[in-house]
Amino acid sequence: MKKLEGQVVIITGGARGIGEGICKVFCNEGATVALWDVLEEGQKTADRIAKNGGKIFYQNVDVSSQESVDKAVAKVISEYGKIDVLINNAGIIRDRSILKMSREEWDQVMRVNVDSLYITAKAVVPHMKTANYGRIISASSVNAFQGAFGQTNYSASKAAIVGFTHSLCREVGKYNITVNAIAPGFIKTEMTDSMPQDVIQAGISMIPVGRIGTPEDMGHAYLFLASKEAGFISGHTLHANGGAMP
Ligand code: NAI
């Protein structure tokens, strides 16, 4: 029996990288996936996964816009009647040291990485409450815990996700909804491919399992927290980083 058979899942930022890995793993486990992204590339990603038998469709959604999210949720509900799992994976970086960072670079990161949690929860939690079931899992980062040069905005946003998770889990636990976060370590995606080779090699040398993580590694970590069997785990941040603890 597949772990997510019959379940309806929203995966934000699913067009590429870790989000695509989560989409693949969840589709293999029988979920029906709404892939949300601002990139039209999301359509091609969904088509590729559907070709391999996945039940997946693309919706052009900006997670920093309540209007955009509300519209997409209404469509999922009218077609499938429920949302079992919400994966808040979409995120951006606008790296710059504090002396050079513009207010707009700070605000952009907060809008996409933090405001989106409020926006998606407002749209999705009422439906999970009605169904008396839900799983909400959001992407934090190892850099919320150890910091990184040029990432005051990003690290602050990813730490906010941990606080949000702790509080929301207290509010919605009585509706059989769990709320967790995942703090990925060093994962091979477009985001990390843009780093200089020597920085990538230095990063890998710090990882006890001796390799960079893959989007599919992350997909399996999300799958664990999304499963029905994880119903007694809530308010937790899972560090998925090959042992490279901050
Ligand atoms: P990525 O940049 O490859 O993918 C992020 C996706 O989110 C993109 O498809 C992008 O179009 C989408 N997105 C951006 N803004 C959006 C918006 N307003 N609305 C909807 N979609 C939007 O990033 P990656 O590496 O796959 O990371 C995924 C998540 O994991 C992010 O939240 C990131 O902060 C987090 N993370 C990644 C790590 C890594 O090593 N790659 C390490 C720790 C955390």
31-78: per-residue pLDDT in tens? 999 999 999 999 999 999 999 999 999 999 999 999 999 999 999 999
In sequence order, what are the beta bridge partners of 12? 36
pLDDT band at 194 (very low <50, low <70, confident <90, very high): confident
β strands within 79-192, DSSP E: 85-88, 134-139, 177-184
Domains of the chain (ranges plus CATH)? 8-240 (3.40.50.720)
Give the model's pLDDT for residue 190.
Answer: 86
DSSP-derived secondary structure letter, 114: I
In testing the pocket of ligand 1, which one of 68, 70, 89 has its CB within 8 Å of the most ligand atoms? 89
Percent of the chain at pLDDT exceeding 70:
100
- SS3 of 246, please? coil
**Beta strands 85-88 and 134-139, pairing class:** parallel
Ligand 1 within 6 A of 119 CB? no
CA–centroid distance, residue 92 to ligand 1 (Å): 6
Is the pLDDT at 212 greater than 90? The verdict is yes
Is 154 in the active site? yes
Identify which of 10, 11, 16, 18 to mutate to test ligand 1's pocket (most ligand atoms within 8 A of the CB). Answer: 18
> Is 112 in contact with 64 (CB distance < 8 Å)?
yes
Q: Is the CB of 29 under 6 A from ligand 1?
A: no
What ipTM, to 2 d.p.?
A: 0.99
